[in-house]
Amino acid sequence: MRPFDELCPAPPHWDLDWPRVREAFPWVRELAGVEQDPVHHAEGDVEVHTRMACEALAQLPAWRARPVGERVRLFAAVLLHDVAKPRCTRRGADGRVTAHGHSRAGDLTARRLLWEAGAPIGWREHVAALVRHHQVPFWALERPDLRRIAFRVSLLARNDDLVLLATADILGRRCGDASEVLDHISLYAEYCAEQRCLDAPRAFPSDHARFWFFRRPDRDPDYAAHDDTRSTVTLMSGLPGAGKDHWIAEHRPGVPVVSPDALRAELGVRPTADQRPVAAAAVERAREHLRAGRSFVWNATHLSRDLRGRSVSLAADYRARVEIVALEAPPRVLRERVERRAAPVPAAAVERMVRRWECPDPTEAHRVVRRVTG
């Protein structure tokens, strides 16, 4: 994935050319001058830490032993792991510097940057997942939901990648508790190995068993849940212009469709007006299909995990099988499609959507399909 592969340290010297990295990525230059908590980051600002973490990664024998493609992907994750700190860092009234929420915000930012750079979906989502979870191994032993998190990481990326990222993160700091945190990271790796999810996705008896494991915290992951579904809800997810209508016409002809766009026209609600009546009508229309045990397509943007979760929960309550079809298009194609619409979506509105876009993952549904259109 260019330009990461061109900048990634390589044999025989494994050198990191930081000036070229700064020149290639504006978001790296934005890390300069961003303060950090001196207790955990005595090395300097976020750019200094990111450079040191990349240098630490390049010295790890386990990273050097990986195939070149995996090395490049991990290098990208280390470069991006603190990319959201410029907008998440705050100095409190007590003088302490914090960056609360930078991991989740980093996931969103990494996705946007890599989408704009043309990264393949799987590669991009692997990196974004590592960025989102990069602090998990530090505090893993304190998490009551550790098993679910470890399983989720294994399905989105790889836990052994997460261990290498976390190790480089700690070695790229000057802090007093580094050896203690490295012990925590090592214990996390051992835990993942015991749970059969260190270097491969955690296996489940079926997609139905996986679906319900992530919906019920006390679920046994090895329990072969009886599949009692009686219909299928196809949940569309994608930005305006991603090609959802075209996909439905081609792949689900004749299947009922619940569409907020159609309901807006039916109810006479303008796009700029209060959308709560439209949302309520969509939920009630979906309930009608679910009560009847009828399969249907729910055609909305469903860009955030939270919004999808509401629709998925409703479908699960009525014993429906859930498939999510996530469509996307390259930025240029997306803009051209939106501009050609009879009622174009304002560019600023699309940009706001991109900044909160969370790509669906296998923990959310029985089946997730990801496709690039155009």
Residue 153: how many other CB atoms lie within 10 Å: 23
334 closest CA partner among 124, 116, 125, 121: 116
Q: Which long-range contacts (CB under 8 A, 24 or more apart) does 346-354 make?
A: 350/239, 350/240, 350/241, 353/239, 353/240, 353/301, 353/303, 354/112, 354/115, 354/239
* Residues 47, 111, 129: CA angle, nearest 5 degrees: 85
Domain spans of the chain?
Answer: 4-194, 231-372
- Residue 361 is classified by DSSP as -
Question: Measured in Å, how far apart are the chain's first and last C-alpha atoms?
Answer: 20
Give the pLDDT mean for 34-55: 94
What CATH code would you report for 4-194?
A: 1.10.3210
Confidence of residue 341 (pLDDT cuts 50, 70, 90): confident
pLDDT at 141 over 90: no
Give the pLDDT mean for 23-50: 95
The pLDDT of residue 177 is: 81
User: Higher pLDDT residue, 374 or 228?
Assistant: 228
Q: Residue type for 88, please?
A: C
Can you identify the CATH homologous superfamily of domain 231-372?
A: P-loop containing nucleotide triphosphate hydrolases (3.40.50.300)
Tens digit of each residue's pLDDT (9 = 90 or more) over 254-307 = 999 999 989 998 989 887 788 899 999 999 999 999 999 999 999 999 999 999
User: Higher pLDDT residue, 175 or 369?
Assistant: 369
- Residue 205 is classified by DSSP as S
The pLDDT of residue 333 is: 96
37's tokens: 């908590």
The pLDDT of residue 253 is: 97
Residue 111: how many other CB atoms lie within 10 Å: 24
The pLDDT of residue 218 is: 87
Positive or negative torsion for Cα 142, 144, 146, 152: negative
CB contact at 8 A, 43 and 173: yes
